[in-house]
Structure 1
């Protein structure tokens, strides 16, 4: 803190003017000793910007239209009502950080003091941002430094007036074979954010609305590549579904960065949770899913593998509703990932497609790890399939990862592959489903069904791929169901006779 004392006498008059401090305040540096700590008054006077940041950390979710959010037992909870004409008016409900909420009369007394000393410090619902800043200035002037420091502590700030690593990066253990997902609590919080900042109620976030949503972050978490990774409107705005998809992708690929962003948005404070980890679920190990032959996961990773020029990028973009004929994104951004939802057995699942450059990324066996592999070849190129066959034999022949072959450019004449056997023969030999045709020029039902097939294979890795596509598999399912029905009827008749 000694660095903050440099230039005290030259800086303090400016600070005094900005805060409209009382003339009686000494320009010197005064200190107050709290248990185990030395706090300087100057530190508190130099945090106007910081306190403003705290208000935005608080205001991202709460609105006057969300009364359930107004019950938090924190010292200051901001609720932003609008951003019209760039007037970012912030309201507060003052409550106690120390265990007991303030009495109604005490709240009114606080508002009265602020109202008498400021022209715009009080609104119908409580204190504005200027009123809150004045109140903290008053605390400091009257020697109540610990009150302001308690507020800062409550919102995760340390001795240097910075958010602590413990707050931004809570400990989260992710064992090998497990994945991380945004859970229902997290989606609820994120939906409240979306509803708050979707000012025109078009179920999409424009660039300006997205910027307002992340205004509390020191940097913009989402770059231009996000617009290529999730479903968007024709104008390129992120849809509600695309918004949740991007958060799921963030949690899956880099959960600690995801927790950091949730921390900036004030998740643990606004939801009364101990940390952001409450918004994330760590799935059980994949080996356990295989043994139990079922999974509770919501997100699955599919690696799209194939030689250059086969249409992998078109395949990814088609998954989020963009064909090669659409205008798309005018920027030079590129995303190797896309994510969207699919319906499997009346359940909504998230499928992540990752375009892989095998020549540079498959350096070791772990690089091939995924929930399902999509091996894509150009049906019009006689040399294309040989590449996929080689990758399959090197990385997926053991059968631990389900594989689906896709024949791209199905609108062009099919060429005879120079591989030793045809793609259909190769699939039959290795007990794989027959190749699925795909055309990037049109997004027909057959093309869209490929993504459901990929998600189904990822959800049921214990089932052989050929079984899923063969008539014999479904015949066995039908016969098994019939046997169960007959046995059930027999048991019912037996019980009826006993009665």
Structure 2
């Protein structure tokens, strides 16, 4: 696993050289530019550009000198913020300039939030006192405190000692940085680097036997470094690994453990370019994440009332993934199984708070197939680009555009009087303590709790809902906090993603029904105003408690007035849901029904009807008049001819 350094995708690198006055900054820059040492160097040199082919990576390097004067601080800060790497200097014969690195320069870079790699350089090596501690002894405490230091080196412009190496390391710190790959403190590969290398290993393990055979190792070498490995080199690689790590090699070849060990070894020995070449060959950027061109997310352009869903091909692929990782065959994935599925991605996409506790799990916290696929469909609904990227990281075969489809517009569904969507989104409104959260819990099979925590902001629950005939739809319920409804409805497109709106009230409380009715009125008026009418259902929760007779009468009147079905009584405490979730799905599938009408809406519709009728009469009248004129003209013409 060796190879020449390859040209990076960068078009240029900017280096700024800083440090106290008189330490030798300008002499060092002039020495690299002219390959000579000169006396009487100007205090600050103009920008110096090295030839493109000066270093093997063939990336142009521009070096910016700096002044240490207080009056020039603003200019220095500007240069720092435009640069890619900092060369921080001190003079080997002036100990006080070394002390200033930790007392001033490095803290100042942090204060300015300059998050760049730092190369510490001791200038005037030829004047160094041999009685001084070694470079390693002097720099160990400094590098321990300031992790941004990439490397330390000493040089002499006068004697032309290691001047070229200074800027080679500066370039290398940009092209092949340590920080994204390796934790200097623990001396281990960073988690995201491990995930990237694991994905690369799996892609190269063509026979899926958990090891890279000699042929697979050779293919990997050719892909990354354009040169095959000799049989003796393969033997040598495996020998190095097996001597240090017995589990790094097995009868089939180099294991994942051995593969990761090799990369850690390269990095420890300063061979970061090897690991970076591998990562970049497989499409990773400087943050060890796949580049956008590799992710190649489909555009998925859609109107606000359209949504994105998984195709059957994607669902079949995910079914295979679920089966492969359900090693004990109990029909559920343990948290560790789920982490393993996403172990080749930068992180678990469901670690975000919005996905926590939203889906069905078994008694020991394992996610069922229904829960697993529902969560994928939920992520696709909310963040289709994230869903696409996750599939790429997992190794989805082929173009991810085959994994997604855009639904037709809701307005077209209403016109056709039928929705074909596989994922239904239900917005759940209602006053506090009405039972909204308990209904969401019931959707994902959670047991009833006497005391529910007040929902702050939005909360989601998602699961499969069986329909008559054996088919199923995915229902996403979004609980909207009562206090945020007004702000929510300020957006004219707020209801565009909604397929059904449910209004929950405590059937034993007249006040609860009153508040739910007000919310229903608000939502219905919003839908009428912006052309986003949605089917609405009233849900009479806590049906196990003694019903309020006034609630029964009032709710019946509300439904009659607004043209809705009678409220659906449910008791989550008794587990009597009354086919609630199926009825929500059915309401979404017939989007032209259960649309509430407000008094204002009825009035507007009546006025529109009268205007249209008046226009109709006017058109008929105009037609009669035109027809009469035409007949009159014909009569006169006949009369004239007969005369």
3-state SS, counterpart of residue 434 of structure 1: coil
Matched, 1:440 2:440: no
Is residue 427 of structure 2 the alignment partner of residue 297 of structure 1?
no
For 2:555, which of 423, 433, 439 is the aligned residue?
A: 423
* Larger RCO (CA within 8 A; separation ≥ 6): 1
Does 2:449 align with 1:336? no
Compute the displacement of 1:243 (Å): 1.9
Relative distance call for 1:377 and 1:435 in structure 2 (3 A) is same
Match of 1:323, SS state, is: coil
Shift of 1:303: 0.9
Residue 287 (str. 1) matches residue 429 (str. 2): no
SS of the residue 1:360 aligns to: helix
| 1:210 and 2:334 matched | no
| Corresponding residue number in structure 2 for 1:115 | 238
Task: Work out the CA distance in 2 between the residues paired with 1:376 and 1:327.
Answer: 17
Shifted more, 167-176 versus 92-101: the winner is: 92-101
Q: Deviation of residue 309 (structure 1)?
A: 1.3
Counterpart-to-counterpart distance in 2, 1:408 and 1:57 = 49
Distance 1:272 1:111 in 2: 30
Residues 41, 300 of structure 1: alpha-carbon distance in 2 compared, 3 angstrom cutoff: closer
Q: Is the 8 A contact 1:385 1:417 kept in 2?
A: no
Give 1:273's aligned residue.
398
Which structure 1 segments of 5+ residues have no match? 15-25, 33-37, 63-69, 82-89, 467-499
Q: Tell me if structure 2 keeps the 8 A contact 1:30–1:40.
A: no
CA contact (8 A) 2:221 2:229 kept: no
> Pairwise mapping of residues 12-31 of structure 1 onto structure 2 (< 5 A)?
none
1:293 to 1:31, Cα distance in 2 relative to 1, 3 A: farther
1:364-403 alignment, distance < 5 Å:
364=489, 365-369=492-496, 370-396=498-524, 398=528, 400-403=533-536
Q: CA deviation at 1:404?
A: 1.4
**C-alpha contact (below 8 Å) 2:502/2:537 kept by paired residues:** yes
TM-score using structure 2 length: 0.54
Partner deviation per Cα, 1:449-469 (whole Å, 9 max, x = no partner): 110010111122034579xxx
Preserved contact between residue 294 and residue 459 of structure 1 (Cα < 8 Å): yes
Question: Which of 457-466 and 48-57 deviates more?
Answer: 48-57
* Change beyond 3 A, Cα 1:225–1:100: closer
Secondary structure of the corresponding residue to residue 336 of structure 1: strand
Cα deviation, residue 430, structure 1: 2.8
Check the 8 A contact 1:319/1:448 in 2, yes or no. no
CA drift at 1:317? 0.5
Q: Distance in 1 between matches of 2:503 and 2:386?
A: 31
1:469 aligned partner = none
- Within 5 Å, give how 1:88-99 maps onto structure 2: 93-94=216-217, 96=219
State which of 326, 337, 358 in structure 2 corresponds to 1:229. 358
**Secondary structure at the counterpart of residue 579 of structure 2:** helix
3-state SS of the aligned residue for 2:478? strand
Q: CA deviation at 1:217?
A: 4.7
Are 1:158 and 2:285 counterparts? yes
Deviation at 1:7, TM superposition (A): 5.5
SS at match of 1:461: coil
Cα pair distance change 1:464/1:418, threshold 3 Å: closer
State how far apart, in whole Å, the 1-side matches of 2:230 and 2:537 are: 64
Describe the shift of the 1:241–1:30 C-alpha distance in structure 2 as closer, same or farther (beyond 3 A).
Answer: farther
Flag structure 2 segments of 5+ consecutive residues without an equivalent. 1-83, 86-115, 122-134, 144-161, 183-187, 597-643
Contact 1:384 1:417 in 2 (8 A): no
- Cα deviation digits, residues 129-183 of structure 1 (max 9, x gap): 354357779999xxx9998655323432125655434446836343222212233
> Is 1:347 matched with 2:457?
no
Higher deviation after alignment, 337-346 or 110-119: 110-119
Q: How large is the RMSD of aligned CA atoms in angstroms?
A: 4.8
SS in 1 for 2:484: helix
Given candidates 579, 585, 591, the residue that maps to 1:449 is 579
1:321 CA drift (Å): 1.2
> TM-score w.r.t. structure 1 length?
0.67
Matches within 5 A, 1:185-200: 185-200=313-328
Selected match of 1:6 from 110, 116, 119: 119
How far apart are residue 409 of structure 1 and its match?
1.1
Distance 2:378 2:334 in 1: 20
What SS does the aligned partner of 2:314 have? helix
Q: Are the aligned partners of 1:186 and 1:280 in contact in 2 as well (CA < 8 Å)?
A: yes
Q: Deviations over 1:96-135 (max 9, x none)?
A: 4799999xx9797775343343314432333223543577
Inter-partner Cα distance in structure 2 for 1:108 and 1:169: 37
Distance change >3 Å, CA 162–CA 31, structure 1 → 2 = farther
Deviations 1:240-275 (A, max 9, x none): 321222222122122334344445xx23xx23434x
- What's the counterpart of residue 411 of structure 1? 544
Question: Match of 1:367, SS?
Answer: coil
Judge conservation of contact 1:122–1:128 (CA < 8 Å) in 2: yes
Deviation at 1:372, TM superposition (A): 0.4
Report the counterpart of residue 195 of structure 2 in structure 1.
Answer: 56
Q: What corresponds to 2:111 in structure 1?
A: none
Query: Which digits, 9 at most, give the CA deviation of each residue in 1:337-360, with x for residues without a partner?
Result: 100101235322100111112332
Matched, 1:458 2:611: no
Partners of 2:451 and 2:409 in 1: CA distance: 41
Q: Conserved in 1, the CA contact under 8 Å of 2:178 and 2:272?
A: no
Indicate if the aligned counterparts of 2:374 and 2:464 stay in contact, CA closer than 8 A. yes
State the SS of the aligned residue for 1:413: coil
Cα distance change on mapping 1:100 and 1:391 into 2, 3 Å:
same
Q: CA deviation at 1:213?
A: 3.6
**CA displacement at 1:219 relative to structure 2:** 4.7
* Contact preservation (8 Å) 2:420, 2:589: no
